[in-house]
Amino acid sequence: MKLFQFAYCYDYDKKINNLGNLCPEKWSFGSNSDNVILKNYIDHTLEKLFDEEKVIEKEEYALFNTGLYTNFYQEIYAYFVPNQISGKQKWFLDGFYTAYQISNMGVTENPQRANYFSRPADLVFDTNCEIIPQYPHIFNDPDNFLRIPESIRESSNKSMLFDGAIKRAKQMINANYKTAVPQYYKGKIQLLIPICLINENVPDLALVVSKNEAGNQYLGHTCLTLDMAYNNARLIARPDSIWLKP
């Protein structure tokens, strides 16, 4: 369930800005200040929490764990009260509060945060495995193709350039395992690796890879823009990476 289906979110931009102040990090892309990363994070986190049945709904209030923390590592919760406006959603978003604050609001049961993985090994790229890209999808699917830099799209040796970029990415991962960044997609953990097509030190895209059923190869499914990749990765944790930043 999406947040705006679950609750009436009056003055949402102000409340989401307050949340960003509670958990200070860069929540907008480039020079923007729209908190689009944080809004995406909250919406998808709530969907996952509903799947895991971790949203608490009492008669007096509703509550979920945002999975975010203050600078003092206190958990932050979204707190809702019954909506007094008829014909609207059941709940009204009161705001985002720390564990200390909600304990003073009569909350006696603190919900758990979303869980995106059960095997920590899935978060780390296995450098013994080769990467096999799905070029028919990357080059023939219109959405994928338009994410590729124009000069590369017009090149007659696109696959060779991609092969070189994948080889370079594996070298980067060998040098620093944090180069491969985990993302959560449709119930599975995948990894994002940088694809540098024009400048060997500047990523243009993120290649989404996951292991095959045998577990001995990575399949390169699709390419994402760097903004799309960051949004997906941030659901699990803030990426600690030298290349994937907002």
Q: What is the pLDDT of residues 83-101, one digit of tens each?
A: 998 888 999 999 999 999 9
Residue linked to tokens 């509703």:
62
Helix (H) or strand (E) holding 195: strand 188-195
As a whole number, mean pLDDT of residues 20-34 equals 96
Q: What percent of the chain has pLDDT over 90?
A: 93
Give CA angle at 135 (133, 138), nearest 5°: 105
Q: Is the pLDDT of residue 186 over 90?
A: no
Q: How much is the pLDDT for 87?
A: 86
Q: Is the pLDDT of residue 13 over 90?
A: yes
120 phi-psi bin (left φ>0, alpha ψ -120 to 50, beta other): alpha
Dihedral (C-alpha) 150, 181, 159, 136: value to the nearest 10 degrees?
Answer: -90
Gap between the Cα atoms of 48 and 40, Å rounded: 12
> What token pair was written down for 159?
């696959």
Q: Is the pLDDT of residue 103 over 90?
A: yes
Q: Is the pLDDT of residue 187 over 90?
A: no
* pTM, full prediction: 0.93
As a whole number, mean pLDDT of residues 3-14 equals 97
Q: How much is the pLDDT for 106?
A: 87
Q: Is the pLDDT of residue 245 over 90?
A: yes
What is the secondary structure of 66-104 as a DSSP string? EEEE-TT--EEEEEEEE--STTS-SEEEEEEEEHHHHHT
Residue 158 near residue 152, CB atoms below 8 Å: yes
Q: How much is the pLDDT for 196?
A: 98
Q: How much is the pLDDT for 176?
A: 95
Q: Is the pLDDT of residue 82 over 90?
A: yes
Condensed to tens digits (0 to 9), the pLDDT of residues 42-76 reads 999 999 999 999 999 999 999 999 999 999 999 99
As a whole number, mean pLDDT of residues 22-44 equals 97
Name the average pLDDT for the chain. 95
As a whole number, mean pLDDT of residues 209-231 equals 95
